[in-house]
Amino acid sequence: MIGGIEAGGTKFVCCVADENMNITDRVTIETREPEYTMGKVFEFFKDKEIKSLGLAIFGPIDVDKSSETYGTILKTPKLAWANYNIYEALTKELKVPVEVETDVNGAALSEYYEGHGKGRKSVLYITIGTGIGAGFVSGGEVINGLTHPEMGHVLIQSREEDFDGVCPFHKNCLEGMAAGPSILGRYGVKGTELPADHEVWDYIGDYVGQALMTYTLILAPDIILIGGGVARQEQLFKKFKENFSKYMNGYLSHKRYIDEVDDYIKYPKNGQDAGLVGSLYLAKKALDR
């Protein structure tokens, strides 16, 4: 058996699976302070006899394996978790190999192996909700540098004169202009309360389209999958693709970026369990190390 954890801001989902990746048991634990939540996590895995564990967790987290603080959660609004070394805690308690990645890298892995990325060379997974994050998997490997990617914060060209963006670090980066809180920042209401033909969808569609061009120029992925609450609005999703094509303007001649845009930019296949399935692939990687 192997174990997986998808750790989010509101809940931790833990599971065990057999070698064919069939999930045989799972539990959901509320995200409170580490002592409470991790206590429940340890309890769940205690008698499960797992051989390895994968963890897909909210960032930022130190993913540099040569770093002394590998697996430590970095500065985060979830204050009780800042500076908590969750890798060390799991390794010490469960005494099995542990592999740690961000939740979006986990979701990218699950799409690469079991979703729309199956058979493709690389997968860029993006989530657009309360924040904007992305994970990139190429040839089955998660691509991190010294840190995991923070692609949601790339700068974009604003089309608005009376809105400066809400990112506390960069104001008008993509996240500051296109994530959920930007809608609240503009109009004082949530996106779900605005009609499908509201101007905000034109803006967000434009900005995300710009970012998709930037990601494509730098990573040249084989497929881009976009999840998250904001992206779920279908009238908006269409604009992502239109603006991507408009901005690229035929510059890269590969057919994936021109003729096949409807297949290049898609919704993810794996739904709710994307991160959890990804964590099991991380557990497999931990075994192979």
CB 123, min distance to its own copies, A: 11
CB 213, min distance to its own copies, A: 7
CB 232, min distance to its own copies, A: 24
- Contact string (CB under 8 A) for its own copies, positions 48-87, x = contact: ------------x---x---------xx------------
Distance CA 154, CA 144 (A): 16
**Element holding 128 (H helix, E strand):** strand 122-128
Q: How does DSSP classify residue 232?
A: G
Output 91 or 147, the one with its CB closest to its own copies: 147
Q: Contact between 214 and its own copies (CB under 8 A)?
A: yes
Output 119 or 271, the one with its CB closest to its own copies: 119
Give the sheet arrangement for strand 132-138, strand by strand.
141-142, 132-138, 122-128, 223-227, 265-266
Output 78 or 170, the one with its CB closest to its own copies: 170
Stretch that binds its own copies, among 40-48, 190-198, 243-251, 279-287 (CB under 8 A): 243-251
Q: Contact between 203 and its own copies (CB under 8 A)?
A: no
Phi-psi region of 143 (alpha: psi -120 to 50; beta: other; left: phi over 0): beta
Output 145 or 195, the one with its CB closest to its own copies: 145
Task: For the segment 142-171, give every residue that binds its own copies (CB under 8 A).
Answer: 143-151, 153-158, 169-170
Contact in structure between 54 and 94 (CB atoms under 8 Å): no
Q: Which pair of structure tokens corresponds to residue 149? A: 């990617």
Contact in structure between 127 and 227 (CB atoms under 8 Å): yes
- Helices and strands in the chain, H and E counts: 9, 10
Q: Contact between 222 and its own copies (CB under 8 A)?
A: yes
Which of 1, 220, 258, 287 is in the footprint of its own copies by CB under 8 A? 220
Backbone phi, psi, residue 43, to 5°: -60, -45
Backbone phi, psi, residue 157, to 5°: -85, 120
Q: Which residues of the chain form contacts with its own copies (CB under 8 A)?
A: 60, 64, 74-75, 121-122, 138, 143-151, 153-158, 169-170, 172, 210, 213-215, 217-222, 247, 249-254, 256-257
